[in-house]
Amino acid sequence: MASDADQMSRQTPGKKNSMFDAYVVEKNAEGTPSVVLRSLSEDQLPDGEVTVRVEWSTLNYKDALALTGKGPIIRSYPMVPGIDFAGTVEASSNPAFSVGQKVLLNGYGVGEKHWGGLAGRARVPGEWLVPLPEAFTPRQAMALGTAGYTAMLCVQALQKQGVTPRSGEVVVTGASGGVGSVAVMLLAKLGYAVTAVTGRMEEKPYLEKLGAKDVIPRQFFGGMTRPLEKARWAGAVDVAGGAILAAVCASMLPYGVVTACGLAAGMDFPATVAPFILRGVTLVGIESVNCPNAERRAAWSALAELVDQDLLEEMTSEIPFSEVVSTAERLLAGKVRGRVVVKTP
């Protein structure tokens, strides 16, 4: 990748410069990061085999941290945030992708180490891209985004570990958020009895519409500090981490399976080994950023078969490019339900 100065200013003599708008996080002389909306040239894009005209992006928890400076997400400056994007290939030196092809991207450090999707253009290595499934428009793919793809990885992990609808209830924490909303929808579609956990009980009708059989408040786990609690769930999708994840593990049925994919409630894990050695509970970590391409393609294929487009629209809100930063603040404050898609300029 070019140096910061070169990346922001280089021009190629004799080459037509296609301009586009992008959010850029920069550091001032004192080292304080700030986000600005800039007009950039394609010549300023980082190295990569494929240039994509970004049509839709989205806002995830990581994006909100990067845009607000409230988390150490960005690894180098200047940085265009946005860990997801979908759009059309404009140029490619990779034989796997052709001009005019629809593609999407999740993760791989985009928006953290490599310029991301909150921009009109992106340039990335071809192996990071996934052909857009025919079942989805670019907007629908971003309505799922990293959150939906991660939820699918969690569901697949439960299935691989032998958790079936007959095994018992499955609990989903952070159910009103992006990963949680999609996980509830997918698990319900597959016939599981889903218990949704949320810090906003006013979202109960929404979660029931997605397929939750039961909706309980986050405070349900507040008093759970014993090594083993009353056994209730056969499977779990946890986006919270911290004490909530510990409580979930402590309340699993014998041989239950917990998938952990987030840290919204903290990175610590104040648990004991009791659930694992006395009930045979399995804790499965879900890593979506650098997931092998074959596995992510399989996840997207499964999403194409399972997603209810009407329910997906129900959990999706659309914002203009100008409202990205303000919406990021609302997301971190817990005031955003489901998924947010961004129409790029």
pLDDT of the residue at 247: 96
pLDDT band, very low/low/confident/very high, at 303 (cuts 50, 70, 90): very high
Residue 232: pLDDT above 50?
yes
- Could you tell me the residue ranges of all domains in the chain? 4-132+315-343, 145-285
Residue 84: pLDDT above 50?
yes
Residue 87: pLDDT above 90?
yes
- Please write the tens of the pLDDT for every residue from 94-135: 999 999 999 999 999 999 999 999 999 999 999 999 999 999
Q: Give the CA dihedral 203, 209, 211, 215, nearest 10 degrees.
A: 30
Q: How many C-beta atoms surround the C-beta of residue 127 within 10 A?
A: 11
Among positive and negative, which fits the CA dihedral 282, 287, 288, 294? Answer: negative
Q: Tell me if domain 4-132+315-343 and domain 145-285 are identical in fold.
A: no
Residue 138: pLDDT above 50?
yes
The CATH number, out of the four listed (2.30.30.30, 3.90.180.10, 3.90.190.20, 3.40.50.300), of the domain defined by the range 4-132+315-343: 3.90.180.10
pLDDT of the residue at 126: 95
Residue 149: pLDDT above 80?
yes
Whole-angstrom Cα Rg for the chain: 21
Q: Give the CA dihedral 233, 307, 64, 238, nearest 10 degrees.
A: 10
What homologous superfamily does CATH list for 145-285?
NAD(P)-binding Rossmann-like Domain (3.40.50.720)
